[in-house]
Structure 1
């Protein structure tokens, strides 16, 4: 693994532990040249996924981009980082288990909406407002009405 501080290609693993419910390995590394310490994570990837955008463009699936969008929706909300990571890992596993290498961005968005709905209502509404491109206050009223109906059930 290349050192992020000095670029040395030969770094040493100082400690390895499982994390994220055993879905990843966390490695603590040190650079013998500059003495810098950093952490890396290894995850199992079942298949290469690509995302088909609404515009028709294809891009490689980026787990970090998915995690960032979820974290933006959950910013300043009382949800533990571990629950967020579990949700993101669950979405990735669902996508990989579909058996397809190309996934529509709409599928990913719907899985995120489903996950956020169970984590935090405010984050769900935030994400929905961007994902569904809300244009007026009535759009917010509609989604909040849907949430209220689900809670009544």
Structure 2
């Protein structure tokens, strides 16, 4: 593994941890040249279904986009990165278990909302208010009332 700091090709694994659910391996590495440490993750390479957007375009699934949208909703909320990673793992597992070659983006949005509702009610409301494109305050009020039950 090449060092991300100095591009030296020799690095040494100093610590290895398996995630709680066993879905990935986290490795701490140290460069043999500059001695800086960095983290790598190993996870299986799987084929996710193509995402069909509302306008009909088809794009590849990107974990980074899912993580970014969840992080935006969870900004300044008391949710750990481990909890977010676990939520993303559950979403990805559901996508793979569908066994489909294509999935509507709205289905992914619903999966994200379900996970956010479990993690943090405020983040859920943030995401849902943008995702569902509320037209008036009554729609927003209905969502907040639903969360408070």
Aligned partner of 2:65 in structure 1 is 65
The answer to whether the 8 Å contact 1:49/1:102 transfers is yes
How far apart, CA to CA, are the structure 2 residues paired with 1:123 and 1:67?
13
How far apart, CA to CA, are the structure 1 residues paired with 2:11 and 2:101?
33
Unaligned runs of 5+ in 1: none
Residue 17 (1) aligns with residue 17 (2):
yes
Aligned partner of 2:7 in structure 1 is 7
The answer to whether the 8 Å contact 1:20/1:85 transfers is no
**How many correspondences in the alignment?**
149
Aligned partner of 1:82 in structure 2 is 82
* 1:34 CA drift (Å): 2.9
Unaligned runs of 5+ in 2: none
Aligned partner of 2:39 in structure 1 is 39
- Pairwise mapping of residues 3-152 of structure 1 onto structure 2 (< 5 A)? 3-148=3-148, 151=149
The runs of at least 4 aligned residues of structure 1 exceeding 4 Å deviation read: none
Q: Tell me, what secondary structure is at the counterpart of 1:38?
A: strand
* 1:20 CA drift (Å): 4.1
RMSD of the TM alignment (CA)?
1.9
The answer to whether the 8 Å contact 1:20/1:82 transfers is no
TM-score of the superposed pair, with normalisation by structure 1: 0.84
How far apart, CA to CA, are the structure 2 residues paired with 1:6 and 1:57?
40
Q: CA distance change for structure 1 residues 20 and 145 in 2, over 3 Å: closer, same or farther?
A: same
Deviates further, 125-134 or 17-26: 17-26
How far apart, CA to CA, are the structure 2 residues paired with 1:71 and 1:139?
24
